[in-house]
Amino acid sequence: MKPFSFYLGTRVFFGRNCLQENQEQLLKLGNKALIVTGRTSGKSSGALDDVIASLNNQQINYIIYDAIENNPTLENIKRAVGQAMPFQPQFVIAIGGGSPLDAAKAIAVLLTNEIDPLELFQNQFSNPPLPIAAIPTTAGTGSEVTHYSILTRKDLQTKMSFGNDMTFPRIAFVDPAYTASMPYEVAVDTALDALSHAIEGYLSKRSTLVGDILALEAIKLFGECVSFLQSRNLDYQTREKLLYLSTLAGMVITQSGTTLVHGLGYSLTYFKDLPHGRANGLLLHEYLKYNYSHSAEKINNILKALLISDIDTFGQVIEVLLPNGLVLSDDEIEQFANLAITQKNTQSNLKPVSIEDLKQILRDSQRPPK
Ligand code: NAP
Ligand code: FE
């Protein structure tokens, strides 16, 4: 058997009302909380109101920072830290999609370590970060159970992650009801991010035996949700499955990381302003085609779990979900491939990858809007 190590630093509570039913957990983290969220996700999901009620019940003081941007930048993190510092919070409650959750991890480190945000990427902090309770409102990133914080590096024109065993959220309250307010496009994009995590984690050089079980289960659950996603019929049961699979897929990438889809996808987000999950989703079909010669058995397992007969049918499923397609110039293809080859995750792909391969994947992933 392939040797492996498996670590998860987060206690997960999953299910409807899991925050209300376990609110005493918050008091274990301290009695002064910094709530970190985006402009709309905390409020429209209902999670912010529930958190405030739980904090009031337990007489925990709090302040709210609700200006985390999508794909947060180091400047955005710095502003949040500056505003929170005088309050001297003892823990952080992160509410939102991956953007606020990842931002909270950076903020939690910077509130206990007087370092420049750029130093986060060295992954060594003298002091442990503030503990975090994470509450996802999208079903995609799995950030509630990963140690990764993915931030936008304007200096390098890409996104970059940091994280170590100390940056796992201490607790995750994973309640499907908080994803009900997601706009349909966000639901699709984030579901494709989760699928991407499961598939890439499974096709990574760093895949693990335990992670593979979680990945195939997550992929199977995605298969069960596809027709509901396509018909825009996202009832509670489907949202529950989508959130569960995204948390499972987060556990997968915590062990094995992502691969070239994320490596290339960062440029589609940075330069083309495509949401993170959509960027990945647009590349998945060609990614499977590219890897098939090297990893046929694993890719057949993926298709079987999805109940999809072949890779081209998979491509058609994605086309229905992402009708707007992708168009790139030759210069963009050149630039994005050159950036992606330097990404660690690209190098984790099971099949060895060259710049030429990346360019071909980008070329072949193009399709005009429907
Ligand atoms: P997001 O950027 O957090 O959110 C996308 C949009 O959806 C935002 O406008 C957000 O509002 C809105 N939204 C979120 N939940 C909502 C809800 N329940 N109701 C209404 N609106 C809602 O999207 P995401 O895809 O979840 O996260 C993407 C980020 O996570 C990227 O930076 C990506 O690199 C990162 N990521 C991290 C990991 C990891 O392991 N840590 C893995 C994959 C991706 P607001 O404006 O209020 O935020
Ligand atoms: Fe992702």
pLDDT (tens digit per residue) in 140-159: 999 999 999 999 999 999 99
Which of 99, 153, 178 gets mutated to test ligand 1 (max ligand atoms within 8 A of its CB)? Answer: 99
119 alpha carbon – ligand 2 mean position (Å): 23
Instruction: Name the residue at shortest CA distance from atom 7 of ligand 1.
Output: 186
55 alpha carbon – ligand 2 mean position (Å): 31
Q: What is the pLDDT of residue 7?
A: 96
Euclidean distance between CA atoms 130 and 185, whole angstroms: 33
Q: Which ligand is nearest to the CA of 243?
A: 1
Q: Is pLDDT of 219 > 90?
A: yes
User: What are the φ/ψ torsions at residue 228 (nearest 5 degrees)?
Assistant: -70, -40
16 alpha carbon – ligand 2 mean position (Å): 24
182 alpha carbon – ligand 1 mean position (Å): 10
Radius of gyration of the chain (CA): 20
Q: Which ligand is nearest to the CA of 38?
A: 1
Cα 193 to Cα 58, 84, 157, 243, 276, distances in angstroms: 36, 31, 21, 12, 7
Euclidean distance between CA atoms 77 and 103, whole angstroms: 6
Q: What is the pLDDT of residue 370?
A: 79
DSSP assignment of 182-229 = S-HHHHHHHHHHHHHHHHHHHTBTT--HHHHHHHHHHHHHHHHHHHHH
Dig out the tokens for 270 from the structure.
């940075």
Residue range 305-310: mean pLDDT, rounded: 98
67 alpha carbon – ligand 1 mean position (Å): 13
Q: Could you tell me what percent of the chain has a pLDDT over 70? A: 100
Instruction: Name the residue at shortest CA distance from atom 20 of ligand 1.
Output: 182
Mapping DSSP onto H, E and C, the string for 263-308 reads: HHHHHHHHHHCCCHHHHHHHHHHHHHHHHHHHHHHHHHHHHHHHCC
Cα 298 to Cα 37, 260, 318, 347, 350, distances in angstroms: 38, 17, 20, 19, 11
196 alpha carbon – ligand 1 mean position (Å): 15
Q: What is the pLDDT of residue 147?
A: 98
Q: Which ligand is nearest to the CA of 163?
A: 1
Which of 35, 39, 40, 245 gets mutated to test ligand 1 (max ligand atoms within 8 A of its CB)? Answer: 40
Average pLDDT over the chain reads 97
- pTM of the entire predicted model: 0.98
Asked if residue 166 lies in contact with residue 6, where contact means CB atoms within 8 angstroms, the answer is no
pLDDT (tens digit per residue) in 169-201: 999 999 999 999 999 999 999 999 999 999 999
259 alpha carbon – ligand 2 mean position (Å): 10
pLDDT (tens digit per residue) in 100-115: 999 999 999 999 999 9
Q: Is pLDDT of 88 > 90?
A: yes
Beta bridge partners of 326: 367
User: How remote is the C-alpha of 65 from its chain's centroid?
Assistant: 21
Instruction: Name the residue at shortest CA distance from atom 40 of ligand 1.
Output: 143
Residues enclosing ligand 1, CB less than 6 A?
A: 38-41, 44-45, 70-71, 96-100, 102, 137-138, 140-143, 146, 148, 150, 159, 178-179, 181-182, 186, 190, 193, 276-277
Nearest to 34 by CA among 73, 1, 81, 74: 81
The one-letter code for the residue type at 291 is N
Cα 212 to Cα 2, 181, 196, 285, 288, distances in angstroms: 12, 31, 13, 20, 17
Dihedral through CA 179, CA 322, CA 37, CA 76, nearest 10?
Answer: 170
Which residues are close to ligand 2, an ion, with C-beta < 5 A?
Answer: 193
Number of the ligand 1 atom closest to the C-alpha atom of 146: 40
Strand 149-153 and strand 158-162: the pairing is antiparallel
257 alpha carbon – ligand 2 mean position (Å): 10
Cα 31 to Cα 11, 89, 218, 252, distances in angstroms: 19, 8, 36, 33
Q: Which ligand is nearest to the CA of 142?
A: 1
Q: Is pLDDT of 294 > 90?
A: yes
Residue range 314-343: mean pLDDT, rounded: 97
The one-letter code for the residue type at 135 is I
- Predicted confidence band of residue 317 (pLDDT cuts 50, 70, 90): very high
DSSP assignment of 166-187 = GGS-SEEEE-GGGGTTS-HHHH
Residue range 300-325: mean pLDDT, rounded: 98
Q: Is pLDDT of 275 > 90?
A: yes
Q: Is pLDDT of 87 > 90?
A: yes
Which of 105, 137, 239 gets mutated to test ligand 1 (max ligand atoms within 8 A of its CB)? Answer: 137
